[in-house]
Amino acid sequence: MAKKALEGIKVIDLTSALSGPFATMFFADYGAEVIKVEPLGGEQSRSWGPFLKKSGESNFYGNFNRNKKGVSLNLKTEKGLQMLYDLVKDADFFWENYRGGVTKRLKIDYDTIKQINPNIIYVSGSGFGTDSPISYRPCYDIVSQAMAGMLNLTGYPDQDPVKVGPSVADHVSGIYQAVGALIALHHRDKTGEGQFVDVAMFDTIFSLLENAVPDYTVDGVIDQRNGNIDPSIAPFDVYKVKDGFCAVGVGNDRLWAKFCNYIGKPELLEDERFKTNTLRCENYKSALRDVMQEWAGQYTKKELEDMMDEAGIPCGPVMDMKEVIEHPQTEARDLLLHVQHPIDGDVEVQGVVAKMSETPAEITTAAPMVGQDNKEVFGLTDEEARKLEEEGVISSTSSCKM
């Protein structure tokens, strides 16, 4: 049986939607006991499709909450709050992604929680952080992409700004939360000292803007939408081929020479407009893009991919979801895995990215239904659970409407 890197670690997870559940998913996949604490009706992402056919459970929710135990608590009741405090006493992590001010109102802020467990590592994921002028604002991915500059950089110059497709602010801030948590855990292992970890989606998007930041701070240039073109590398773009599109990235002068010789156009190497990467960037839109498009348009996706593969030039076809899921790479990397849902049976979830040689992750259980593990986690008898449900302190799938 494989060793579990985070076995023995206990996480109290009050997060909802995406960034927090994505972060705590890593801990659950690597063996930590993650107890997901939801409000009585379940957290908001349970209403986001697609939905499993038999149970009606959200597979969006299911992807990011696998391997976790699920309980439900009404934190606005004195009894529910005390039951949460009892869980905190021997926990390693307390995780939440409320907007600023909410945790203090609920009496679950860092100062309160560390009074119960002084060594706790408290992770807060939010839209704007806990100490900013707009920390009180609610936030979703599209808002953070808009306010931190990403929307203004995404899309084509003659069209409206476009959100990056998947929720990149949620996903990457979730990764930052997990990394921050592990750094804090390492520090605690050395010193015994817990701490507060604060990650904001606005900050996350700002950290991903690459040259757009120094372009302004160094040169005073406000970058604008540029389509698929990389303003600092050329050719680095998506080209139309006979049966779709292909991305090609010629990232340096060495690859440019290799590319020109391979496609039988060594004369491009002597063209003064294309001799260096800087010159190619300057002359891309006016000249080089047309050269590249004329060349690429002669081939199918497969033909162009095979040629560039042989030449050692980074290239890939633009694939739809069917093509991605059926690609041998997806299977080889175990990017879709099977888990058994108590009602729906076999369900596919996205796999684990970080492959560990000695302590591999495992996906062993489906995401819990509302209050599925109330009795186990709180040590309740059937009668005690029934009484707490009647009092509105806890709930389960059978006692609430999703």
Q: How far apart are the first and last CA of the chain?
A: 37
How far is 126 from 102, CA to CA, in rounded Å?
Answer: 11
Q: How far are the Cα atoms of 13, 19, 72, 338, 401 from residue 395, in angstroms, in the given order?
A: 17, 24, 6, 28, 10
How far is 225 from 392, CA to CA, in rounded Å?
Answer: 51
Q: Find out whether 340 and 366 touch, Cβ atoms under 8 Å.
A: yes
How far is 37 from 165, CA to CA, in rounded Å?
Answer: 29
| Residue carrying the six token digits 């590398």 | 233
| Residue carrying the six token digits 């020109």 | 260
C-alpha 317: how far from its chain's center? Answer: 24
How far is 132 from 114, CA to CA, in rounded Å?
Answer: 22
Nearest alpha-carbon partner for 244 in 289, 297, 306 = 297
Catalytic residue among 13, 92, 170, 344: 170
Q: Spell out the residues 6+ positions from residue 394 whose beta carbon is closer than 8 angstroms to its own.
A: 40, 71, 72, 73, 74, 80, 83, 371, 374, 378, 385, 388
Phi, psi at 244, each rounded to 5°: 155, -135
Examine the residue annotation and report whether 223 is marked as an active-site residue of this protein: no
Q: Where in the sequence numbering do the catalytic residues fall?
A: 170
